[in-house]
Amino acid sequence: MSNSVELEDANSEVEKFLSELGPKPYSYGDLEKFTFKFSIPIGFGGYGEVYKGQFPGGLHIAVKVLAKKDVVEETFMAEVRTMGKAYHRNLVKLFGYCFERDMKALVYEYMENGSLDNILYDNHGGSIEWERLYGIAIETAKGIDYLHEGWDERIIHYDIKAGNVLLDKNLSPKITDFGLAKLMKRDVSRVPLSRIRGTVGYNAPETWMPSSQVTYKCDVYSFGMMLFEVLGRRRNGEGENWFPQQVWENYKNGQIDKIMKDCGIPEKDNEKAKILSMVALWCSQYTPEIRPSMSDVVLMLQKKIPVGTPPYPFQFRQSLESSVLPPTIEVIPEVTSEVSPTIDERIGETNPSAFSLPVKTGGLLSYISKKLGKFGNKKGSRSHETESVSLSSPYTYQQAASKIENEKGSQFAKTEKIVSSSSPNKSPQAGSKNDLVFFEGTKQFDLEDLLRASAEVMGKGDFGTKYKAVLENGVVVCVQRLKIIQDDQKQEGFEKYLEVLGKLQHNNVVSLKAYYFSKDEKMLVYEYMSKGSLFSLLHGKPGVRPAQVDWTTRLKIAAGVAHGLNYIHHYSLQSPRLSHGNIKSSNILIDPMGNPRLIDFDLSAFVTLPIMSRSNGYRAPETLIEGTHFFHQKSDIYAFGVLLLEMLTGRKPLMSSENGVSENVDLPRWVQSVVREEWTAEVFDLELMRYSDNEEEMIMLLQIGMDCVTSYPDQRPSMDSVVTRIEEIGGE
């Protein structure tokens, strides 16, 4: 009897969990109809059998029936938890599930061409051009990169292999089988592993260690093993020698061409095959910290960044974490150029080159309300008057390679972000007064430190003024002083809104680090982006000519903004869905790596805006109605379309009429007047005319922009669709 009660309790927990997610529930009877009584088996794995089926409308599906094992519920919840929230063109879609006493099943989209391992191993690989396999590798890498970086928590797949990459009718790859997957918070550097996960031959060495702590880099290793199999179109363990070792030996001896010949790579594909083999050697490093991120893997395979010389992969090396860093510092795997918030004298040992941050006189306190009082040095704190702070510049993994020697015991520089770990994370509490409330990781400074920081005005916007603030320890942040919110009811809602924004973590969204609320002052503290805004990049600053922005850079920025906005739109499944509401080029900041980052969400529900600011050239027609302050996702898409037109034409969203009449002409109208019935080069920025070979790609991006700025919200594409279309431009 007690076992029955426990089972019912467990089932109710799972059912509660499922009710909060998007996939549709189906009954056992539904699945019987869809699969014609489970009469067409198409695959079998460790967790159950897969059957082909069909929805009433004709759409083909794959139904995975989980076997009755101890881990069935863990597997079931892992798949639904991850795939129910993840949206990407290179991930298999989860349509629904069945969770009944005698049936645990998952309903996926059907992949016509089966799995990649069938293509590679069953003598079918020769029928597909190797260049197409290279494209499959890139698209698979994009899918894994999305799992690691695409939303607020990382997803560790744990079982990346050719058998878990399915191919649709167009041979586009999609990652499947999330039964082992785990979510990993971004402020956690490692997760414990209670049992071995993955497939022998693919799983990373650290996953075999007792009581091991692993990172998302274990997926990078598995992907590297898969790349070797794509290169050789064979299993790595076939033959007398392990294939990855053969690749290394030939690479080390300068005979990589021999591998190309042995693998039957066409001469025209030799360059790409060499790149793929070197990327595989980087990904398969036994030491996790040396492996690149999947973001870098994508860029290397696309030939957008150099690969660098890989060290010998198949041995463990002494880690920087245990040999160089002080005990109060922890390493978070992430390629970054962000300045360390806590500076220890020994950190300089990791890299002899350095750069300086100027420290200006005059503090942030001089810009804000004097009612906050006077602050002196904290008791016991050490401060020094300096003109600049010297900080170690970060290494990329390519630079690290030059420090790695093949002999045992060599030291190397890491591609990691270094943060203080001296104090635990504190959850923000709405309504906290007279202190900074932090959202992420570790408290880096207090209000007193912030007010003593040197500061300079960066710019003024609808919702307040932004300052660059340099703290005494060298940390640089962006502080936004908000216009006063007098309405107590609005203030309560605003604090709840900030709690949502503070949880957003994405490569293309500026992180809100903290906020401060008192009766007389409201401040937001963001990451500082040193490269300025997209507006300044395109249009210059007073007295400064615009930069010459090439086509590749513009396309990269467009893709990055699209990814960031798509992440925001998918962040919450609850209604109303989250939107940005304030998309414009001045709110797109550029980080040190050249990536665009969204900042400055719409606050008009809490701050009264002047009438003029409502018609800034980016506002969708439906938001210009008097009294409107709610901006939905389709309004974001309109603004994004205007942003694309701005990047392509080099013109500001609102222009003076060219016929001498004193009126403003919005950018979409101007583009329509120039383009009329057919696309023309006249619409593009003069700088882009240098890239005539890319004119077709520019027209494709222009078409996306025009689709986004249609007057009717329901006719605008979704950001999912926009991201897919932009990724297809200039793709391999």
Out of 30, 145, 159, 296, pick the active-site residue.
159
- The type of residue at 104 is K
**How far apart, in whole angstroms, are the C-alpha atoms of residue 115 and residue 108?**
14
Q: Tell whether omega for the bond before 23 is within 30 degrees of 0, i.e. cis.
A: no
For 47, the enclosing helix (H) or strand (E) is none
Q: Are 549 and 585 in contact (CB under 8 A)?
A: no
Angle CA 465–470–476, to nearest 5: 85
The answer to whether 541 is annotated as binding is: no
Alpha helices in 575-632 (DSSP H): none
Q: Is 669 helix (H, G, I), strand (E, B) or coil?
A: helix
**How far apart, in whole angstroms, are the C-alpha atoms of residue 161 and residue 203?**
9
Q: Are 583 and 599 in contact (CB under 8 A)?
A: no
**How far apart, in whole angstroms, are the C-alpha atoms of residue 232 and residue 236?**
8
Which residue reads 């500082």 in tokens? 528
- 159 assigned to active site: yes
Angle CA 571–624–584, to nearest 5: 50
Q: Are 248 and 314 in contact (CB under 8 A)?
A: yes
Among 54, 53, 216, 78, which residue's Cα sits nearest to residue 145? 216
- The type of residue at 416 is E
Q: Are 221 and 204 in contact (CB under 8 A)?
A: yes
**How far apart, in whole angstroms, are the C-alpha atoms of residue 171 and residue 111?**
9
**Residue 601 has which token pair?**
């969400």
As a whole number of angstroms, the longest Cα–Cα distance in the chain is 87
**How far apart, in whole angstroms, are the C-alpha atoms of residue 230 and residue 301?**
13
User: Where in the sequence numbering do the catalytic residues fall?
Assistant: 159
Annotated binding site for ATP: which residue ranges? 69
Annotated binding site: which residue ranges? 69
